[in-house]
Amino acid sequence: MNDPIPFLDLVSPHRELEPELMAIMQSALRSAGFIGGSMLQEFERNFAEFIGAAECIGVSNGTDALRFALIAAGVKPGDAVLTVANSFIATAEAITQAGAVPEFIEVDEDTYNMCPHSLRTYLEECPLDVDTGMRLGRRTGMPITAVLPVHLFGQMADMDAIEEIAQDFHLELIEDACQAHGAEYFSERQNRWRKAGSIGRAAAFSFYPGKNLGACGDAGAVTTSDPRIARDIRRLRDHGSATKYYHEVIGFNGRLDSIQAGFLDVKLKHLPRWNEMRRSAAARYQAMFETVRGVITPFEPVQSKAVYHLYVVRLSERNVVQERLAAAGIGTGIHYPVPIHLQKAYAELGYRKGDLPITESFASDILSLPMFPEISARQQQRVVERVAEITECIPRSDIAANA
């Protein structure tokens, strides 16, 4: 029997970095520098520079990063925020935590990201509040104040188009870049490549261990080039205070630990290389799947450089394929089995099956294959051969019966 192939490998990169990470730990212990301080500032400076934003504010996790970004951008109770249902639930949770209500826009069938055409049509069909000039959410009747696209699986949404729509409808634009550290998009409007996290008023990153840049625990950050937003988020993450024990607003305990910031700074130096390795692995999968019928591989538009946080294919009889891959020692995932608008937690929004047909169509046939920087061509070959074997030997009648 061949060695198992994990869905992702968090052990070997840390083994390699152990001496550097232990040095961070030791320096924190010896100085008792656990909160704030130079390790945090150093990482914030380096991450902002990497993204191409003026500022980075380290926070407790990606969900808090989204929540703080929304609040600082002015989203408040009684607002509606447009986002997608094809994401991790935290995207919507952050909107709810800011006191607003999400309304979901349909996604593009090829990229799985927010469809700009659907976004514009949706807004045009929302009633206009003549007093304020704002659109009122079609489902909630609340003023739509922001749009929150997600750069899903490591590929950026169509930001030129979304940015233009946000301007046309006076919406704040916040990016969920939690899966897109280092992803790039060629902006025709600006005639240059732009990174995820450098376009909206603010952007949220997660450094959950499995992300392309992951901490050794929970961590996150907001990037922004608006000094007012940066100042507000620095206050929000620290009990609404800029000076200790003087609280200007009611905030949160949402800081990034110094040790995690130190770890992240060590790992940030490797991120460009890791992302390139993921891109090479994706190109290999793409070539290997060329001869396998019935498997839809990820689509990367010419204006996009994806960083493949996940490598998601679509195929029929997904559950059978997943079970048989597991039996062969190959780890996979499903991102995500239930779109947010159909989650029990959001039942009160009143969405029904059929409201977002494209979004809903993914749940039954998506499969995330093993993807991490160190995955070898041999391992990938085995994954592809297995998938080919399994899909070939599912009798055609089974597929038709379950379609």
61 binds ligand PLP, rule: CB under 6 A: yes
Binding segment for ligand PLP (CB under 6 A), chosen from 56-64, 245-253, 351-359, 365-373, is 56-64
Spell out the long-range contacts of 163-167 with Cβ–Cβ below 8 A and sequence spacing 24 or more: 163/189, 163/199, 163/200, 164/189, 165/116, 165/119, 165/120, 165/123
**Phi and psi, residue 212, nearest 5°:** -55, -40
Query: Please, which of residues 84-113 interact with ligand PLP by CB under 6 A?
Result: 87-88, 90-91
What type of residue is 182? G
For residue 142, what is the enclosing H or E element?
none
Q: Choose between 218 and 317: whose C-beta lies nearer to ligand PLP.
A: 218
Residue 367: phi and psi, rounded to 5, are -145, 125
| Beta carbon of residue 40, minimum distance to ligand PLP (angstroms, whole number) | 17
Indicate which single residue of 103, 160, 163, 176 sits in contact with ligand PLP (rule: CB under 6 A). Answer: 176
Report the site for ligand PLP in 304-363 (rule: CB under 6 A): none
**Contact call for residue 154 and ligand PLP (CB under 6 A):** no
The DSSP letter of residue 139 is T
- Given the complex with ligand PLP, which of 205 and 289 has the nearer CB atom? 205
**Nearest residue to 197 (alpha-carbon basis) of 164, 231, 159, 228:** 159
Tell the smallest beta-carbon distance from residue 294 to ligand PLP (Å).
28
Among 28, 81, 101, 178, binds ligand PLP (CB under 6 A): 178
Q: How far is the CB of 32 from ligand PLP (least distance, A)?
A: 26
Among 8, 44, 63, 126, binds ligand PLP (CB under 6 A): 63
Per the CB < 8 A criterion, the answer to whether 311 and 369 are in contact is yes
- E strands, 161-219, are 172-176, 184-187, 192-195, 202-206
> For the chain, give me the number of helices (H) and strands (E)?
13, 16
- Give, in degrees to the nearest 5, the angle at Cα 290 between 286 and 291: 145
Q: Given candidates 58, 62, 102, 200, which one binds ligand PLP under the rule CB under 6 A? A: 62
Of the two residues 359 and 380, which places its CB atom closer to ligand PLP in the complex?
A: 359
- Of residues 198-237, which lie at the interface with ligand PLP (CB under 6 A)? 206, 208, 218, 220
- Applying CB under 6 A, the residues found at the interface with ligand PLP are 61-63, 87-88, 90-91, 150, 176, 178-179, 206, 208, 218, 220
